[in-house]
Amino acid sequence: MHIVAFANGIHTNTLTGGDKIFVEFCKRWILAGHHVVIITNKVGRRYCMRNGIAASHILLWRASWLDRYGVYAAMLGKTVMSFIRGLFLLQKRVDVIFASSFFFPDIIPAFFLKLRHPHAQLAIASYLFTAKRLGSDYSGGRLKGLLFYLNELASFWLTRRYQGLVLTASSHDKTQLARSQRIDPHDIMAIRGAVDTRFFSPQHSETIRYDAVFVGRFHPQKCIDELLSIWQMMIVRHAHRILALVGDGPLRHKLRTFVLRNNLENNVFFLGVHDGEEKLEILRSSRMFVSASRYDSGNIALDEALACGLPGVVYDLPALEYPQGVLKIPVGNKRLFADAIETLLTDEETYNRLSKEARAFAKTLDWDQKAKEVLAFIRR
């Protein structure tokens, strides 16, 4: 089978769960013997190769230099460049066209290729979307929400027009997407996240360096400012507790300023972007995973933490499907969130029970099986 995957929206230092899903699928489709061509930028190529995909499977569209101008300027520039390059993209045989996001740098060339290969099946990944008119529920503010909404509106119109399939993160999101975008539920697959349990395994370091860890983008969607305010409450109770933040993004300066102004530099460590062995070592050196996001539709970083035996503490969001290993807190209740963290720090019996549940649940999330199911859905 000949598969062309587009991942032109990948941005420097802001790798997403969607990027992780795309690279894990492509890696396994290649191993299964399919002919896969990945069209991406310099950052995407480096990410693919770091995750075991050979350069021979990658077609480079240079655009990462635009990232220096910020996420939105870069997205505009990448859209223009993808439009121009998409006009001249030639592939002799195409059976599957996979856009790793519904943002314009990925979907525009995907639709151009669909026009040239009308019998190829088109699949669009949408792991985050707005369910309200004009993007009023988007976490980045009204203007960004409007831009997000317009991108979404155009993308899903094209998806319906060319009978594309949609991959989304959860059953809850599948229902929301079918209703808000008038897409046949049979054309949507809720894929859930997955984890490589052969790599992420519960072998804790002898010394736990971090009482809690967060892994993700420094983006309004992740509500890291709220997590920091919760950690302030923890420090009042236990002055020496340490939170590790793994990631980067547009809120980095704001978060660092918050930490400095509130004298939290000895309690909150910014570790930067890490993947692979480095991320594994950090997880194994942490006691639990925490996230105060109010907008998540999935959390692959949490899946990986669970596989390492770390219990999680998160807000109880409709789209987050964690039946075991995770303490779910009513959204916005920071006191109960802090209480849950304290329980996992001080109650060994509860901690050990949740750690065992976390490992058991993570074993049910398998990338190999998920990649087979997704390809079968696309080629049904």
Closest CA to 254 of 212, 279, 209, 223: 223
CA–CA distance, 112 with 343 (Å, rounded to integer): 54
- Residues 291-347: tens digit of each pLDDT: 999 988 789 999 999 999 999 999 999 888 899 999 999 999 999 999 999 999 999
* φ, ψ for residue 274, nearest 5 deg: -140, 145
So what's the pLDDT on residue 139? 53
**Cα(351)–Cα(366) distance, integer angstroms:** 24
Phi first, then psi, for residue 190 (nearest 5°) are: -85, 110
Q: Cα dihedral angle (105, 110, 116, 117), rounded to 10 degrees?
A: 170
Q: Where in the chain is the domain with CATH 3.40.50.2000?
A: 2-194+366-378, 212-362
- Which CATH number fits the domain 2-194+366-378, given the four candidates 3.40.50.2000, 1.10.3680.10, 3.20.20.70, 2.40.50.100? 3.40.50.2000
Per-block mean pLDDT, blocks of 10 residues, the chain (380 long): 95 82 96 96 94 95 89 89 94 95 94 96 87 56 76 89 92 88 92 89 79 93 94 92 94 95 96 91 96 88 95 93 95 96 96 96 93 92
Q: Are 318 and 293 in contact (CB under 8 A)?
A: no
The CATH superfamily label for domain 212-362 reads: Glycogen Phosphorylase B; (3.40.50.2000)
pTM for the full predicted model? 0.85
Q: Where are the beta strands (DSSP E) in 106-250?
A: 121-125, 165-168, 188-190, 212-215, 243-246
Place of tokens 């999330």: 365
Q: What is the pLDDT of residues 52-69, one digit of tens each?
A: 999 999 999 999 999 888
